Structure formats: C-alpha cells, structure tokens
A and B are shown apart, each in its own frame.
Chain A
Amino acid sequence: MKRQDNGTPRYGFTTWQQTCLITSTLIGVGVLTLPRTSSSRLLEAGWMAPLVGSLGAYISIWMIAKLSRRFPGMTFVEYSPLVWASKESPKLGKLLSIPWIFVYLSFIYVATGMVSRIFGEVVVTSVLLNTPLEVIMITMFLLAFFLSLHDVDVVARVNEILFPLIIFPVLFIAIASFQKADWSYLFPLIRVSGKSIFEGAYEAVYSFSGFEIMLIFYAFTQHNSGKEKAGFVGILMTMVVYTLIVVAGITVFGYEELQRLTWPTLELVKTTQVPGLILERLESAFLAVWVAAVFTTVANAYYAVIYGLRQCFNKGMVFQRIASAFLFIPLFFIALIPQNIVEIFQISSYIGIGNLVLNLGVPTIYWIVLFLRGKAGIPKERKADG
C-alpha cells in the first residue's frame, strides 16, 4: 500500500489517549467475573476488592511512568540496557536486560492468550452456541493482527474512539440494575478482618492487569509530563467502573447467589430491562459491544509484545507485520491448553498474582539499580516537544 503521508508531523499520544489506552486495556474479560471473584472471600464487602486490589496497580503505574520519564521517548526494551549498564558497554546492558524483557513480553503474550480464551468461552456458551470456540478466538486474533499492521499512533486513536463504547455499556448495566437492587445485601458493612480484605483483594488483581503495556506505550507521548496523571486517572476510572459493577452484582443477587453464577455480569445484563421494550433481552447486545473491550485488551497487549520484539531485534514495520502474523499460531495453542473453565479461572488467578509481583517487582528493581548507579534523576522537560 503506497502511502503519501510524508512530510506530515507525527502525532504523539495525548494525555487523554494514554488514559483511554490504560482504561480500555484494563477493562476486559475481568469485568464479567468480577462480582463473583471479589465477593468470594469478602462476602458482602466484595465491593472493597477493586478498591484494595487497585492499590498495587497505582504504585506500579507510578513507577512505570517515572521510569518512562527518566528515559523520555524510550520503551522498556530500549532503556533496559541503559539501566543495567553504561552507554559504553551496550553488549553487557543488552545481556543483562534480556531476561527482564523476555519475562515481561512472554508474560503479556500468555496473558493475551488467556484473555482471548476466556472471551471465546463466554461467546460460545452464551451467544453463539453453535460456533466453535476456535473460530471465535481466530476472529479475535485476526482483529488484533489487523491492528498490528498499523503504526503505533493508530493504536492510541483506536483506543480513544472505542473508549466510550467500552465504558458506557458497563456503566449502563451497573446503573440500570440498581432498579432491582436490594441495598440490605451490602450490610453489615465490615464483617471481615483486615487480613482477609487483602486476601480477598487478590481475586480482583487479575482484573487490574494489563497496564504494563505502558512500559512500551509511554514512549510515544506528546509531553514527558502527565504520564503519572494519565496512569492514575486510567486506573481510577477502571476502579470506579469495577466497584459499581460489583456493588450492582451484590445488591441484585447477594453474595451467596453470586458464587453460583459463572458470568455474574452477564446475569446482571439479563435482569436489565430497556425502557420502552425496544429490545427484550440485552445480553447479546451487551456481549457484542463488549467485544470492543476485549479487543482493546487483546490487541493492545499483543501490539506491545510485537513492538517490543521489533525493538529487540531492531527491525522495522515489515518485521512487525510478519511477526504479528506468525506469533498468533503459538498463541492459539497456548490459549487452548486449559481443559475447562475451572482451569482457566485458576490460571487467570495465577496470572493476576504473577502480574502483580512482576509489575511491582521489576520497576522496583529497576529503580533500585538506577539509584545505586546514581542515575535516577529525571531530565527536565524541554519546552519544545517533538
């Protein structure tokens, strides 16, 4: 395809685009199971789980944003060697940073596979009963492949345009189901001990994974400042949406009933009535719109992996396109490893914890190394941004 856009300036990510990127990546398959997982330990206080579970995410995104501000215009892949060794010994830096990059990229990769598997399961069990799971997964992969054919600024714009499509349906469901809410299900407010609040919050952590893609995407911002703000607002919005949906789940069903529902949010949708009865049942429509949420999760993460790989090997757009076509094949089989839905939930819970450890651990280690090497100063932003 011959493009004629030479001589036109590159658009960097605006702060709002970064926020959209984070929020739409975080909101994904987690939202369907969140009312159940977060109330499993915390019982009627399940709404605390997203609040507490997001704490780690805030700290982590703050560290990631600071790392990116320390190395403006560089992705994790690019600045890792500079963290581990001085500029004079790039080989050593590269050698030392490879394990971290590898762990991160492969983690995001596997998590992407899991998300698309869960998505496939939902669609196959609730809407398209006769369609094979594999077909749904492949179509989702094709979508992500289509996105990874494009430049990185397209990713930001796609997230921006899909953002309302992701936020509003979930908000609508949460608020509309308050018609049937029985608020007494929320009481007593605090029955569980402080320790089990943190234990219960573990369950919600999986829903807050995915912002680590900003290790890559923070490199393309318009301004060096505002990264922390974008991160905080992005996670805050997700937290509010999650809390609302959990409150809706608990108040409509009660925590005991929630434990028996595989996809509690989908059940919430089924109880929702549209005023005017234009559509009688909403779950198909909700799932259709929700495809956008899953797409942004899968495609953003996949794009981050591909982009990271591309930078690892110092390759261009052609490599990115070819790699994104081929890397789906192993991903497809990885996603098919879990035998049933119980195993999937187990794995995704592990992924959540692993993610928390990784996202808190790696940036901490990086910052410790930077401090020890005395290179922790964040450069002042130049007024003229590029």
Chain B
Amino acid sequence: MSQFWNAWNKRKDRLRNQTLEQHANKSMDSVKDSPVTSVLEDNIVLIEQQFGKSDDLVVRRFQITTGKDAAVIFLDGMVDRNVISDFVIRSLTTENVTYLSPASNELETTNQLRQIVRNILSGNSVLFIDGSTEVYLINSRGWDRRSVMEPQTESVVRGPRDGFTETLSVNAALIRFRLKDPNLRVKHLIVGQRTQTDVFVMHIDGVAHPPIVEEVIRRIENLNLDAILETGYIEQMIQDHRYSPFPQIQNTERPDKIVANLLEGKVAILVDGTPFVLIAPAVLSQFYQSPEDYYERFYIASLIRFIRVISILIALLLPSLYIAFSSFHPEMIPSRLVIAMAAGRSTVPFPSLVEAMFMEIAIEILREASVRLPGPIGPTIGIVGALVVGEAAVSAGLVSPVMVIIVAVTTIGSFASPSYSAAIAIRMLRFPVMFMAGLFGLYGIMLFIIVMLVHLSSIKSFGVPYLSPISPLNLKGMRDLFLRFPHHLMKLRPSMFRVHDKIRMREDDQS
C-alpha cells in the first residue's frame, strides 16, 4: 500500500513540477504531447493541472448507462450548454448505448494531451470515460457572436451589405457562399504561442501563383509572436518593407472585395476574432479602388475613380501648395486672387507654414476626438468644432480665410479614399511635404515627390512591384488603373500577380 502512496506522491510531484514549468513558459508548446491514461481521475487531475485550476474550467461527472464513470470537461461560456446537457450527458446517461457515441453532430477521438487542451481552449468539450484511453472531442462551440452586419469602414451605395464578423467560420462561409468553386483552397494555420489564433489562408488553385501562396504561408508560419489579436499584427509582420509608411497588404471588411481579389490571383488571410481580412499582395492602385467601381457602369465608375485619385492628391499636396504659392511663388496666383489672399492674410502674424501647421494640427485633433466621442454627439461636436473654431480663428486674425477652405478641402479629400490604411498614410505624409514646401517652395514639394516615388518604386509586395501596372508598364493592366474599362474589354486577369488561368472571360461564355 505504501508503495502505491509513494508512487502516487511522486506522480503528484511530477505534475506539480510540470505546472511550475508551465508558469515559466505557459505557451501551448510547453504542454507535453503525451497520451493520456485510462484512469478517469488521473486524467481529470492532469487537465486541471494544465489549466492551473482555473475556475471557469467545468468538470461534470456522471455515470453512463454501462455503469462506467465519465466526465465532460469544458470552459464555461465558450460552449453551448444545451449541446452538453441534451446531447452529451442526457444521451449517455439515459439511452442504452452499446457503442459509445454521444449524439453530437461532430465527434473526434484522440488520446493526445496537447490536442485535448487545445480543443478545450477553442470551445470544444472533452469526454473522458473511465477505463478508456480514447477521449472524445465534441464540437460544442457556442459563444455569443456578432451577426453579419453592414461594414462600418467601407460603405458603398450599390453593392452587398454584408460584412465580415469576428468569427472565422462565418467569414469563411461568406466567401464560400459567393465563390462556389471547388478550387478555392483553405489552409488552416495556428499562430500566436499564447493566443493560438486560427488563421485561414485562402487562394484559388489554378489562378493564384503558387510561389506567392507558399511565400504567404511561409511568412505566417515563421511568425513567432505570442499574440495575434487582429490582422494588423500579421500584416505588419509579414509585409516586405516594415518601415514603409505605405500599406503593402490591403485589409477589408467586405466579402465581395475578397472574392474579387481572390479571382485576381491574390491570397486572402482570415484571422479569427476580427472582421478585417487581409489581401496580399497589394499594389498601390488597389487603395483607391472600391468594389462599387465594378458594379456601376464604367463611365461613372471611371469618373469616380478619377475623382478619388484627385482627392488623394489634394489630401497630400494642397496645404503644401498653399504654403509654396503664398510664401515663394505669389506670382503664380492670379493677381486678383493674390490681392484678396494678401488682404485676408494681412492680420495673420505668422508665416504661412506656421499658419498651415496650426490649422492642420487643429483639424487632426478634431478628427481624432470625433472618433473617440460617444456615438451620437461625435459628428455634432466635429461640425461645431470645425465651424466655430474656424470662424473664430479667422475673425481673431489667427488664420486667413483661404487657409480654412484649404484645411476643410484637404480633410474631406482624405476621406474620399476607400481604404482607411492608405488614407492615414497620406494624412501623415502631408506634414513632411508641408515642411519641404516651407523650406523650398514648389522645389521642395517636388523633392518630396521624387523621394516618395523612389521609395514607392523600391517597394515590392510579395514580389509584385508596388507601382505596377505603371512601372513596370503593363498596358493591359492599365485598363483597370485610373479608368475602369467596360467588363467585356477586361477579358484577362491582371497579369502583374502572375495568375495562371489568365482568361477571365472565355469567348464561348460571352452571350
């Protein structure tokens, strides 16, 4: 008997040591990949040790009809309790089961500890039966999830209204639902040593260039972050140039956009827990294109796209052009206007660079504050702030009236970009251009533009030059650059992503 106790104590010590080790390095990798025993109580202790006796770990013991002891282990709140009580416990305790199979819709068996722990963590429940090393993993996930709603960031006038949610499986279904192609491939990866986040990498086999897909998967697999809370982590870690202000991977909340991009031979990266899905590789032109461009007729779509390009340029350059013109090249402004501007500026004691900085920083504060302000009063405060502060600043003689117009137009221009991540890059780059304009006038602006273009030319996203199809020039690809050609003229997929199935519209499909 004492021998048994010694063995028991040793075992307990070993388990405690194991727990201590896990305190030092509590990531998933530290869970021993060992088989479980056939003794129920041992197994329960083993699992409880793994979770450090967390109080939300629920262990429900019961006796199945054959008389054996059993236990279901799950994490409270992550499972659908109805599944556990109705389909697992009730069916096992009341029905006369000969062959052990709980009446749940999904079932797997394993005897590996690591897999058991991972399943408990991801919301499955685990069924132990005394005397058996087979452990049943029951899909009983059921936590509250947000339903599919209209995306907040990329709204369109015409187009589907559904956006991605925080649940990976729902997001994948939203894509599958639109793209009923058996060639759509999904690669499941688990990233983040502590968060163990599920990541789906999707591409269409036969369209996407396999080396690009492999490169995306390789980079994600090589990530050794301990937490992936949003796609932003992955985006920043796997992009080619981490110090670049320009986003080299696009993110979107819109399933239709993802499908369109998958069809262009790109790769989608879905991360559990966030509605933002990544598209890689991305080129610069993608950031001013909206799915709506393809839904409306091509004249108006091209025109609107053109407007967006202009508004991005305005958002980047207008304040600095004002600085350059008013302090270096007043001769360029039409003479009547320059007189009016000089009259407006006559009370302003600052150089135009200071004046512009003043207003731009004020508008940035307003913008940031209006995001943080609670829902209904946000826009009101924004408008009141802009109007009142602007008006007061003019009448106080702090800024000239032209400056107020310029700041307003700049801000509105930066909102015209359909991609938030590109818009904030432009928003940030506006300030260095203003400094350059304050130093050298138009020459300074041009210096900045050249530096920016050199940088943009040097960027590649997963081997695709960022400025394609302009450079390297690809005339066929330019049909979808500033203008959106009619669909029947875009028979080929853009070749810059090195698609394999090049033809988008086969001749015989055309009616």
Asked whether any CB of chain B lies closer than 8 Å to the CB of A95, the reply is no
Asked whether any CB of chain B lies closer than 8 Å to the CB of A121, the reply is no
- Contacting pair A284 B328 (CB below 8 A): yes
Residues of B within 8 A of A127 (CB): 328-329, 441-443
* Distance A90 CA – B308 CA, assembled complex (angstroms): 58
* Distance A8 CA – B443 CA, assembled complex (angstroms): 36
Q: Which of B160-183 contact A (CB under 8 A)?
A: none
- Contacting pair B463 A9 (CB below 8 A): yes
- Contacting pair B460 A8 (CB below 8 A): yes
CB < 8 Å neighbour of B473 from A4, A7, A14, A288:
A14
Residues of A within 8 A of B310 (CB): none
* Distance A288 CA – B436 CA, assembled complex (angstroms): 13
- Contacting pair B458 A150 (CB below 8 A): yes
Encoded as 1 (CB less than 8 Å from any A CB) or 0, chain B from 444 to 461 comes to 011100110110111010
Question: Can you list 22 A-B pairs with a CB-CB distance of less than 8 A?
Answer: A2-B242, A8-B215, A11-B472, A14-B472, A16-B473, A147-B454, A156-B471, A156-B472, A158-B471, A160-B472, A161-B453, A161-B470, A279-B332, A279-B334, A280-B332, A280-B334, A280-B335, A288-B445, A288-B446, A291-B446, A292-B450, A295-B450
- Contacts A11-B472, A162-B453 given: A5-B460 contact, CB under 8 Å? yes
Residues of B within 8 A of A146 (CB): 451, 454
* Distance A288 CA – B448 CA, assembled complex (angstroms): 11
- Contacting pair A3 B241 (CB below 8 A): yes
Q: Which 9 A-B pairs have the closest CB atoms?
A: A8-B463, A288-B442, A160-B471, A157-B457, A284-B329, A291-B446, A157-B471, A161-B471, A288-B446
Instruction: Tally the A-B contacts, defined by beta carbons under 8 Å.
Output: 120
Q: How large is the interface on A (under 10, 10 to 19, 20 to 34, 35 or more residues)?
A: 35 or more
* Distance A1 CA – B243 CA, assembled complex (angstroms): 8
* Distance A229 CA – B243 CA, assembled complex (angstroms): 39
- Contacts A157-B465, A280-B332, A284-B331 given: A7-B215 contact, CB under 8 Å? yes
Residues of B within 8 A of A154 (CB): 454, 457-458
Q: Which of A277-294 contact B (CB under 8 A)?
A: 277-282, 284-285, 287-289, 291-292
Residues of A within 8 A of B (CB): 1-5, 7-9, 11, 14, 16-17, 123, 127-128, 131, 136, 139, 143, 146-147, 150-151, 154, 156-158, 160-162, 277-282, 284-285, 287-289, 291-292, 295
Residues of B within 8 A of A282 (CB): 332
Q: Distance in Å from the Cβ of A150 to the closest Cβ of chain B?
A: 5
Residue among A1, A4, A11, A289 with max Cβ neighbours from chain B (10 Å): A4
Q: Which of B322-339 contact A (CB under 8 A)?
A: 328-329, 331-335
Asked whether any CB of chain A lies closer than 8 Å to the CB of B499, the reply is no
- Contacting pair A128 B328 (CB below 8 A): yes
Q: Which of B198-251 contact A (CB under 8 A)?
A: 211, 215, 219, 238-243
Residues of A within 8 A of B447 (CB): 139, 143, 291
* Nearest opposing residue in chain A for B466, CB measure: A157
Asked whether any CB of chain A lies closer than 8 Å to the CB of B128, the reply is no
Residues of B within 8 A of A161 (CB): 453, 456-457, 467, 470-471
* Distance A307 CA – B293 CA, assembled complex (angstroms): 44
Q: Distance in Å from the Cβ of B41 to the closest Cβ of chain A?
A: 50
**Additional A-B contact list (4), CB under 8 Å, known A3-B241, A143-B450, A279-B332:** A4-B239, A156-B472, A161-B467, A288-B442
* Distance A177 CA – B82 CA, assembled complex (angstroms): 83
- Contacting pair A281 B463 (CB below 8 A): no
Encoded as 1 (CB less than 8 Å from any A CB) or 0, chain B from 82 to 126 comes to 000000000000000000000000000000000000000000000
- Contacting pair B332 A281 (CB below 8 A): yes
Q: Distance in Å from the Cβ of B471 to the closest Cβ of chain A?
A: 4
Residues of B within 8 A of A (CB): 211, 215, 219, 238-243, 328-329, 331-335, 440-443, 445-447, 450-451, 453-454, 456-458, 460, 462-463, 465, 467, 470-473
* Nearest opposing residue in chain A for B335, CB measure: A280
- Contacting pair A4 B240 (CB below 8 A): yes
Q: Distance in Å from the Cβ of B362 to the closest Cβ of chain A?
A: 28
* Distance A279 CA – B457 CA, assembled complex (angstroms): 31
* Nearest opposing residue in chain A for B212, CB measure: A8
Residues of B within 8 A of A285 (CB): 329, 332, 442
* Distance A292 CA – B446 CA, assembled complex (angstroms): 8
Residue among A147, A156, A158 with max Cβ neighbours from chain B (10 Å): A158
Q: Distance in Å from the Cβ of B65 to the closest Cβ of chain A?
A: 58
Residues of B within 8 A of A158 (CB): 453-454, 457, 471
- Contacting pair B451 A128 (CB below 8 A): no
* Nearest opposing residue in chain A for B218, CB measure: A7
Q: Distance in Å from the Cβ of A79 to the closest Cβ of chain B?
A: 26
- Contacting pair A5 B240 (CB below 8 A): yes
CB < 8 Å neighbour of B441 from A162, A277, A284:
A284
* Distance A334 CA – B346 CA, assembled complex (angstroms): 45
* Distance A151 CA – B458 CA, assembled complex (angstroms): 8
Residues of B within 8 A of A151 (CB): 458
Residues of A within 8 A of B335 (CB): 280
* Distance A156 CA – B454 CA, assembled complex (angstroms): 10
- Contacting pair A150 B440 (CB below 8 A): no
Residues of A within 8 A of B328 (CB): 127-128, 284
Q: Distance in Å from the Cβ of B52 to the closest Cβ of chain A?
A: 37
* Distance A9 CA – B209 CA, assembled complex (angstroms): 13
Q: Distance in Å from the Cβ of B284 to the closest Cβ of chain A?
A: 11
Q: Distance in Å from the Cβ of B220 to the closest Cβ of chain A?
A: 12
* Distance A4 CA – B238 CA, assembled complex (angstroms): 8
* Distance A295 CA – B445 CA, assembled complex (angstroms): 14
Residues of A within 8 A of B333 (CB): 279-280
* Distance A175 CA – B440 CA, assembled complex (angstroms): 29
Residues of A within 8 A of B243 (CB): 1
Residues of B within 8 A of A136 (CB): 443
- Contacting pair B442 A284 (CB below 8 A): yes
Residues of B within 8 A of A131 (CB): 440
Q: Distance in Å from the Cβ of B63 to the closest Cβ of chain A?
A: 57
* Distance A295 CA – B447 CA, assembled complex (angstroms): 9
* Distance A311 CA – B443 CA, assembled complex (angstroms): 34
* Distance A1 CA – B451 CA, assembled complex (angstroms): 17
- Contacting pair A128 B238 (CB below 8 A): no
Residues of B within 8 A of A277 (CB): 334
CB < 8 Å neighbour of B443 from A11, A16, A157, A288:
A288
Residues of A within 8 A of B329 (CB): 127, 284-285
* Distance A333 CA – B453 CA, assembled complex (angstroms): 29
* Distance A136 CA – B446 CA, assembled complex (angstroms): 13
* Distance A264 CA – B241 CA, assembled complex (angstroms): 44
Residues of B within 8 A of A289 (CB): 446
Q: Distance in Å from the Cβ of B410 to the closest Cβ of chain A?
A: 18
* Nearest opposing residue in chain A for B331, CB measure: A281
Residues of B within 8 A of A156 (CB): 471-472
* Distance A280 CA – B334 CA, assembled complex (angstroms): 5
Residue among A2, A8, A131, A146 with max Cβ neighbours from chain B (10 Å): A8
Residues of A within 8 A of B211 (CB): 7-8
Residues of B within 8 A of A2 (CB): 242
* Distance A158 CA – B452 CA, assembled complex (angstroms): 10
Residues of A within 8 A of B440 (CB): 128, 131, 139
- Contacting pair B473 A160 (CB below 8 A): yes
Residues of A within 8 A of B454 (CB): 143, 146-147, 150, 154, 158
Residues of B within 8 A of A281 (CB): 331-332
Residues of A within 8 A of B445 (CB): 288
Residues of A within 8 A of B462 (CB): 8
